[in-house]
Amino acid sequence: MKSTLLKRLRQETTHLTPAQRRVADYILKNPVDTSFMTLDQLSGIVGTSTATVMRLSFRLGYTGYSDFQRDLQELLRDRVAPTTRLEINKKKLEQSSILANCADNHINNLKAMMGFLTKETIDRCLELIVNADKIYIVGLRSSFAIAYYLHQALNQIMGNCRLLKAGSGDNVDDILNICPDDLVIGITMPRYSRPTVETLRVIKGFGPKIIAITDGYSSPLAPLADVVLPCSVRSLAFHNSIAGPIFLADFLITSLAMSEPLKTKNRLEAAEPILKHLNLIIDV
């Protein structure tokens, strides 16, 4: 539906009421701005009622403005450069408290993510991690922070985790060793990392289970995955917020540590003398 959203809006223009036509005209001329506007903001800038915007959304086949805006955002997200996102968000924050708005944004991302996830999905994900022979994690750019954090903690619990650098020739031998008993966790957000997606596409041919941590089911990682863990990554500046994915990684680590307490305890205790011998920690 979203791929023809703007086309359908153009086709409908001649059949709309004058007020709806003004809304449609604004959206067609300013699709990027509209994708970040609330219902009140859009109706206010066009000079019409929120009911008019809602009726236009219904006419296009959506359940409401939020449903319409979600498709518009998905349609545009790969086209929106970080500089454009920053400029749009800066306009909205100039008269507001950035600290309070940032906190609200993180809370809303977490709430949205909780709405995406089901118990069945989480249980399946944990099952795949526990039963995997080896675990490989792939993530680049901002997603590398999530990948490294998850890799480091899973290794503390499981001891069978390896961090891959997508697109690197150094990983070829590792990829050749991947088998159907292994698990690969791929992480990428818009604008999606091509090396990450292509690395997962190659790895899929070796038959491992794949978990995708990404922003939704329309992500290019989703068709490659056995389990998709969707995260809301909206920020108030130019970047993708990693608060949601980090929360998800922290949840997986916590759940695994609680489900494997003896294994976790034994590995943590065994690591202590090594950390001290190598002088890697500061005792206070």
CATH topology classification for 113-277: Rossmann fold (3.40.50)
For the residues 82-101, what does the mean pLDDT come to? Answer: 66
The region of weakest confidence among 64-68, 145-149, 195-199, 244-248 is 64-68
Of the listed ranges 35-39, 129-133, 167-171, 266-270, the one predicted with least confidence: 167-171
> Which tens digit of pLDDT belongs to each residue from 207-234?
999 999 998 777 889 899 999 998 888 8
Mean pLDDT of 48-73: 88
Q: Is 46 exposed, middle or buried (0-12, 13-18, 19+ CB in 10 A)?
A: buried
| Domain 2-76 matches domain 113-277 at the CATH topology level | no
Q: What residue spans define the domains of the chain?
A: 2-76, 113-277
CA angle, residues 145, 189, 81, in degrees to nearest 5: 110
Whether the CB-CB separation of 243 and 110 falls below 8 Å is answered with yes
Binned at pLDDT 50, 70 and 90, residue 139 comes out as very high
Altogether, the residues listed in the chain come to a count of 284
The tens digit of pLDDT for each residue in 240-279 reads 889 999 999 999 999 999 988 888 898 889 988 998 889 8
What band does 77 get if pLDDT is binned at 50, 70 and 90? low
- Yes or no: say if 201 and 224 are a contact pair by the CB < 8 Å rule: yes
- Residue 31 CA to residue 156 CA, distance in Å, equals 46
Find out if CATH 1.10.10.10 is the number for domain 2-76. Answer: yes
Tally DSSP H helices, then E strands, for the chain. Answer: 14, 5
Q: What's the average model confidence in pLDDT over 114-124? A: 86
pLDDT of 112 above 90: no
Is pLDDT above 60 for 78? no
Distance CA 50, CA 32 (A): 19
pLDDT band at 95 (very low <50, low <70, confident <90, very high): low
24-28, 69-73, 75-79, 137-141 — which is least confidently predicted?
75-79
What's the pLDDT tens digit per position in 253-263? 999 999 888 88
Number of C-beta neighbours around residue 164 at 10 A: 25
- What is the average pLDDT across 126-136? 95
